């Protein structure tokens, strides 16, 4: 085994570009030696860029459900690969989250699993504190426990919010049974990152999404987000907790694309709207947050038009290679001011996640 210095020099020299695994040596330094870090500048001003949509896995926690990590790029023991990718793409900080796989766990398992997972998330952040923050995972199937876990995650482990699915075992996040969790998130003032799960779609729908094209993910995921957000609006959850900060993955799914219909429903057929709302359904889009993972400048322009640039934060979906150009997507979308670009690239997320500018 090389000394640390030899390792770094080798990495920077003849062996540059080769991924080192399993050496147990410091990650950040070797990654830095191999990839020039892209520094994003808008009109002469350096922006600290933040990716709010970055997946990872904790194998010790998954083992409690007899699950294995796949793909391996989710492992934080491979943080050097991740940092190298971030450096190349111009991403300064990634906010790590874990897609829920534990919603069927009983209370004892859920308690143990989340503790291990949040501890390990905190360790991963502490190993590279300038590059990573993380969302706590919570056992939302036990809403009172989830509230405790969020508080412990934030106060004890320094995590910056919570990651949740788009539904919980077929139940909507707007169900009053989840109020204890929403109340805690509102009270703590932390961001809740909502990411859909293919398994969240109803069984009959999953059946229709089979076949070529990966529709369960390609349209199933944004559809789940659309349904979840629509219920949070129409069931009055966002009126109940007006201080709640929710960030929806994948640009909020289809909701911002066809938002006008949500307003038109209650006007055209008032009987359908049994819960009085404090404002028009589309106005709630301006209090939610959305990641920028919508692929084209036109889609991002439209998202800004529907939600406001102040509500959009950058998301990459790392390590899933949907995009490697999130920074350029925001820089290259026409019609935005420099301040709007800076907000979307990182300033808004930094504020929401307590990242120093
Ligand atoms: Zn994702």
Q: What is the pLDDT of residues 254-299, one digit of tens each?
A: 999 999 999 999 999 999 999 999 999 999 999 999 999 999 999 9
Please state, for a pLDDT cut of 90, what percent of the chain lies above it: 87
Provide the token pair at 244.
Answer: 């709640």
Residue 30 has pLDDT above 60, yes or no: no
Query: Distance between terminal CA atoms of the chain?
Result: 38
Residue indicated by tokens 């940092």: 83
Work out the mean pLDDT of the chain and round it to a whole number.
Answer: 91
Residue indicated by tokens 């907790």: 241
What is the whole-number distance in angstroms between the Cα of residue 307 and the centre of ligand 1? 21
- Domains delineated in the chain: 4-353 (3.20.20.140)
What is the whole-number distance in angstroms between the Cα of residue 196 and the centre of ligand 1? 8
What is the whole-number distance in angstroms between the Cα of residue 122 and the centre of ligand 1? 20
Residue 156 dihedral angles phi and psi, to the nearest 5°: -90, -40
Check whether the bond before 202 is cis (ω within 30° of 0). no
User: What is the three-state SS of 163-211?
Assistant: EECCCECCECCCCHHHHHHHHHHHHHCCEEEECCCHHHCCHHHHHHCCC
What is the whole-number distance in angstroms between the Cα of residue 344 and the centre of ligand 1? 18
CA dist 314 and 244 (Å) reads 20
What is the whole-number distance in angstroms between the Cα of residue 316 and the centre of ligand 1? 8
Residue 18 has pLDDT above 90, yes or no: no
Angle, to 10 degrees, between the axis of helix 107-127 and the axis of helix 143-155? 20
Helix (H) or strand (E) holding 282: none
CB 165 within 8 A of CB 100: yes
- Angle 179-191-143 from CA coordinates, rounded to 5°: 25
Q: How would you classify residue 307: left for phi > 0, otherwise alpha for psi between -120 and 50, otherwise beta?
A: alpha
CA 30 distance to own-chain centroid: 27
What is the whole-number distance in angstroms between the Cα of residue 5 and the centre of ligand 1? 36
CB 345 within 8 A of CB 42: yes
pLDDT by residue (tens digit) across 148-191? 999 999 999 999 999 999 999 999 999 999 999 999 999 999 99
Mean pLDDT lowest among 17-21, 73-77, 124-128: 17-21
What is the whole-number distance in angstroms between the Cα of residue 279 and the centre of ligand 1? 30
Q: What is the pTM of this model?
A: 0.90
pLDDT by residue (tens digit) across 64-76? 999 999 999 999 9
What is the whole-number distance in angstroms between the Cα of residue 135 and the centre of ligand 1? 13
What is the whole-number distance in angstroms between the Cα of residue 81 and the centre of ligand 1? 18
Question: What average pLDDT does this structure show over 118-129?
Answer: 98
What is the whole-number distance in angstroms between the Cα of residue 98 and the centre of ligand 1? 9
C-alpha to C-alpha distances, 197 to 90, 103, 216, 223, nearest whole angstrom? 28, 11, 9, 10
What is the whole-number distance in angstroms between the Cα of residue 326 and the centre of ligand 1? 14
Residue 6 has pLDDT above 50, yes or no: no
CB 195 within 8 A of CB 97: yes
Residue indicated by tokens 């789940």: 224
C-alpha to C-alpha distances, 26 to 21, 76, 82, 162, 188, nearest whole angstrom? 11, 12, 13, 28, 34
Question: What average pLDDT does this structure show over 30-39?
Answer: 72
């Amino acid at each position: 085994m090389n000394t640390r210095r030899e390792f770094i020099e080798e990495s920077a020299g003849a062996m540059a570009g080769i991924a080192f695994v399993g050496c147990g040596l410091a990650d950040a330094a070797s990654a830095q030696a191999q990839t020039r870090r892209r520094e994003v500048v808008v009109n002469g001003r350096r922006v600290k860029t933040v990716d709010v949509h970055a997946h990872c896995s904790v194998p010790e926690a998954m083992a409690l459900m007899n699950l294995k990590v796949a793909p391996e790029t989710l492992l934080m023991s491979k943080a050097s690969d991740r940092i190298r990718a971030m450096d190349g793409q111009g991403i300064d900080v990634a906010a790590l989250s874990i897609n829920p796989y534990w919603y069927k766990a009983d209370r004892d398992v859920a308690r143990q699993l989340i503790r291990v997972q949040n501890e390990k998330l905190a360790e991963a952040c502490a190993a590279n504190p300038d590059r990573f923050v993380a969302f706590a995972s919570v056992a939302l199937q036990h809403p009172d426990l989830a509230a405790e876990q969020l508080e412990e995650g934030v106060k004890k482990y320094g995590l910056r919010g919570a990651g949740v699915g788009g539904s919980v075992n077929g139940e909507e996040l707007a169900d009053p049974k989840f109020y204890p969790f929403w109340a805690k998130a509102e009270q703590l003032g932390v961001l809740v990152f909502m990411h859909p799960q293919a398994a969240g779609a109803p069984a009959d729908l999953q059946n229709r999404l089979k076949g070529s094209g990966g529709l369960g993910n390609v349209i199933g995921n944004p559809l789940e987000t659309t349904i979840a957000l629509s219920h949070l609006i129409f069931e009055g959850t966002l009126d109940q907790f007006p201080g709640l900060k929710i960030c929806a993955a994948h640009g909020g799914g289809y909701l911002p694309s066809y938002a006008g219909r949500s307003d038109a429903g209650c006007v055209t057929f008032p009987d359908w709207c049994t819960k009085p709302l404090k404002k028009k359904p589309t106005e709630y889009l301006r209090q939610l947050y959305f990641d920028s993972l919508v692929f084209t400048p036109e889609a991002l322009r439209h998202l800004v038009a529907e939600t406001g640039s102040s509500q959009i934060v950058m998301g990459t979906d790392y390590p899933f290679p949907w995009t490697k150009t999130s920074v350029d997507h925001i820089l290259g979308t026409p019609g935005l001011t420099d301040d709007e670009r800076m907000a979307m690239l990182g300033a808004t997320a930094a504020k929401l996640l307590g990242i120093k500018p």
